[in-house]
Amino acid sequence: MDEADRRVLRQSRVRLVGELQVAALWDALLNRELFTPGMIEDIQRAGSGSRRDQARQLIIDLETRGSRALPLFISCLEDTGQDTLASLLRTSRQAAKQDPEAIRPLNLKPVVIGPELWPAKLRPEVLRPEAPRPVDIGSGGFSEIQLKDQGFEVASTSPEDRTPDSDPEPDATPFQEGAVTVDQPDAVSSLPTPSDILVSYSTFPGFVSWRDTKSGSWYIETLDSIFEQWAHCEDLQTLLLRVANAVSVKGVYKQIPGCFNFLRKKLFFKT
């Protein structure tokens, strides 16, 4: 399935899971050779075996069934009298072809571990002096900055870092202002500005982040609980591993938090 059809299917997933009558579809899916009998049996056993779980698994597996999967699925919906859903998908597919930007995945916003998310009485130990932060563009990346990032210098005080006969040098040519006479990568003899930063996401980009209508976000709820129980004795990375494991086994619906990590040391909290 091409990316445009995949986006149409994912955008309509909530509606399909809520309304799709899967029992009427099995024969049509087999007749059009979208699925084999064994695949149909696997879909029927998905989750608790409920209609919603079967519909959800059908939509997920449909993405793997080739470039003609979506138009064939629309035809199956029409053959079984599910014209409203068929019309929804057909209209969305036509709109996507006319304007590829009309249907696009939502940009996920990273959740930065900062003071606003720490449980009461927890404060991080300062590991480095304040340094300018990169410009966050909202999808886990950083904007392209024309000026070279000079980072900040780190003085070595460890005896093992220096020996009487040692003369360390960079593997790449340090960045020099002015004319460049050698064809080698630029580099600076310092750490990049984004060092000592950890950004945590509630889910992998492109996937759903779940929340309970009463207790709130699975991720934030679990983060708060894990920190309350373990922050007095474990470092931040270990805490986030506990959070990821706890969220990944929570309920029928699946979610896995993640992070990108530029920390140079273990970070503990004062409790």
Could you read off the pLDDT of 229-257 as tens digits, one per residue?
999 999 999 999 999 999 999 878 889 99
Average of per-residue pLDDT across 5-14? 86
pLDDT tens-digit readout, 30-81: 998 889 998 899 898 887 888 988 998 898 888 888 888 899 999 999 999 9
Q: Amino acid identity, residue 189?
A: S
Q: What pLDDT is stored for residue 190 in this prediction?
A: 58
CATH 1.10.533.10 residue ranges for the chain: 3-98
Sign of the alpha-carbon torsion through 58, 59, 60, 61? positive
pLDDT tens-place string over residues 110-155:
444 444 444 444 444 333 444 444 444 444 444 333 444 444 454 5
Yes or no: say if 262 and 197 are a contact pair by the CB < 8 Å rule: yes
Task: With H, G, I as helix, E, B as strand and everything else as coil, classify residue 122.
Answer: coil
What is the pLDDT, as a whole number, of residue 129? 40
Give mean pLDDT, residues 202-214: 86
**Distance separating alpha carbons of residues 195 and 237, to the nearest angstrom:** 15
- For residue 82, give the nearest of 42, 55, 116 by alpha carbon: 55
* Res. 181: pLDDT tops 80: no
Full-model pTM: 0.40
Q: Where in the chain is the domain with CATH 3.30.70.1470?
A: 104-118+193-270
Superfamily the domain 104-118+193-270 falls into: Caspase-like (3.30.70.1470)
Cα distances (angstroms) measured from residue 160 to each of 127, 157, 170, 189: 21, 9, 18, 19
User: Which range (60-74, 166-180, 255-269) has the least confidence?
Assistant: 166-180
Bigger pLDDT: 104 vs 256: 256
**First-to-last C-alpha distance (Å) of the chain:** 51
Higher pLDDT, 168 or 17: 17
Q: Which amino acid would we find at residue 134?
A: P
Tokens coding 66: 């080739």
The pLDDT assigned to 168 comes to 55
* Residue 177 or 216, more confident: 216
Judge whether 31 and 40 are in contact, CB under 8 Å: no
- What are the pLDDT digits (tens) for 191-205? 566 678 899 999 987
Q: What is the pLDDT of residue 206?
A: 80
Q: How many CA atoms, within 13 angstroms, populate the side-chain half-sphere of residue 107?
A: 8
**Residue 226, C-beta contacts closer than 8 angstroms, at least 6 positions apart:** 239, 242, 243, 246
C-alpha R_g of the chain? 26
**For position 218, what pLDDT does the model report?**
92
CATH architecture for residues 3-98: Orthogonal Bundle (1.10)
Query: Cβ–Cβ contacts within 10 Å for residue 114, how many?
Result: 8
Give the pLDDT confidence score for residue 214 in this predicted structure.
85
Spatial separation of the C-alpha atoms in residues 137 and 116, rounded to whole Å:
20
